[in-house]
Structure 1
Amino acid sequence: MSSRLMQMWKDKMLYIMLVPAFAYFFIFHIWPILGMKLAFYEYRIIGDNVFVGMKYFTALFNTPVFTNVLMNTLIVSAMKIVIIFPLPVIFALLLNEFRNGSFRKSIQVISYLPHFLSWVVIAGIWFEFMSPSKGIVNGIIQLFGFPAHDFLTDKSSIRWILVLSEAWRSIGWDSIIFLAAIIGISPSLYEAAYVDGANRWHIVTKIVIPHLYIPMVTIFILNIGFLMNAGLDQILNFTNDAVNSKIDIIDTYVYRVGLLNFEYSFATAASLFKSVIGVILVLSTHFISKKLTSKGAW
């Protein structure tokens, strides 16, 4: 038995602990890929499925609703990427400036908590928060003499509600990787900078931020890859008839067509289109970043 196999045998309990994670990804992420072939077949409950080629893709692109759904997906995702992406970096930089360790840990714990809440709970919190009759936001608005406003049924504000609630949920958790990169910076770099007369601004701009460059590039590329995922769980909990036309995305469209209307092949075609675009975006962004900066996702 080779030395590598012997080491793996010694660490067998660690590998056994990985089995549930591998099983999860295989069952819910790898095995379903085989089902994507349904996009090229006419699904039949009884009898064999019939191969129809690009029929459902042609029908998908000729459906007026899909154009609106695609635009909503791109707009909501782009808003989230542009607005939310720099916030965890800024938050990690601010946490690093706290000298009181216990206070910093308290802030970290508080900021992490929303990540572990389901969107059902988060939506309930925001409904109370934004309520036109008893919400804090409208209470503040009325203090300044303005009338209460129902933001959750307003088409002009619902996308901003999605962005703000996503930021509230993810800013603390997403800052972990950047805070870990900051903590991993060698203390000797700080000492050399102080000897040269650098102040805190110089430390942050010349030492800390350059060390965040690689994780920032990696996460940005992955975010671009998820451009077609605007947040199914979030939108299912925030949507209503008044604003659905503004936040109806590909995932909710697939859910509605596939699970509610039982058009499985058509829904699979829409989902496959979204997945292919996501792969193309990840690969394109990676190679462009490699070409321009010599750094990519891998």
Structure 2
Amino acid sequence: MEPEEEGCPVDYLAPLTRTVEYIEKHLNEKITLKDLAKISGYSAYHLIRIFTAATGGTIGGYVRKRRLAVAAEALLNTERRVLDIALDSGFGSSEAFSRSFKSVCGLSPHAYRKRGVAHYVGFERPLDRISLCHRASGVTLQPRFVTLGEIWLAGIRERTAAPGTALPALWSRWNRLRAGVPCLAGGRSFGVCETPAEAACLEADGSVPYIEFVGAETSPFPELPEGVLAKTLTGGRYAVFTHTGAAASLAQTYDYIWGSWALTAGETLDDREDFEVYDSRFRGPECPDSQIDLYIPVRQSMEG
């Protein structure tokens, strides 16, 4: 008998796991809803609704995004013709493939290949039991929207090769610095990724540099101790997702936001920094009940 994932019963996970495993094995073949329903054990009617409820996207959208992700790898790692890659990706022509690819990546397949750099934002990574469980219980699939004014922070920053890799040590250093400083005690804590992946320049070894800032909310012009920096977060409209679980699984939440939600939400992402907020609901980096709010900058809606 299969073990039960924490918070996710086997009878919920197993059919969806079988479905996504089948999709992954047959990406370059015709995939029908009838086949998926048979694999899952659900009727087509129920599979459509259960898949959408569990993942935040449609089956057809997931298949399309996975095919485009595999196509992106082929463009960089093979010399196959774009037309051949397009046909294997389920598109009837290179023109249709190019339109779909550009809508996700912002570049045509030819331009993407010429640039020669992997670009993962917007490309759906394959779902597995862990990521399915996380989407079912670890992240709000539909965000709330808020409009904020400027937020003033005090904290420290560090350059790192990938987002998240420097955070444990950076938070530890910050907590030591803020200890005993009244204007930095209490209140909400913030984690900010200051370098968007799209704007970063590659290092000599091919890695992408990021700058992580961690700190606390403060007054506009506080007197700060040596080594502590002031920072202002720009106000505006944000989509707010709530991550539930250990901090180590934050990457799965971001995978969902950038690889699934951002492609189908109909929202226009803004160039402001995204950030995380740690308030009284955060009970430690390893606590399964901890909650962290993730603020993703989006353009003001026409209705607003």
TM-score after normalising by structure 1: 0.23
Structure in which a larger fraction of residues adopt strand: 2
**Highest RCO, 1 vs 2 (Cα 8 Å, sep ≥ 6):** 1
Structure in which a larger fraction of residues adopt helix: 1
TM-score after normalising by structure 2: 0.23
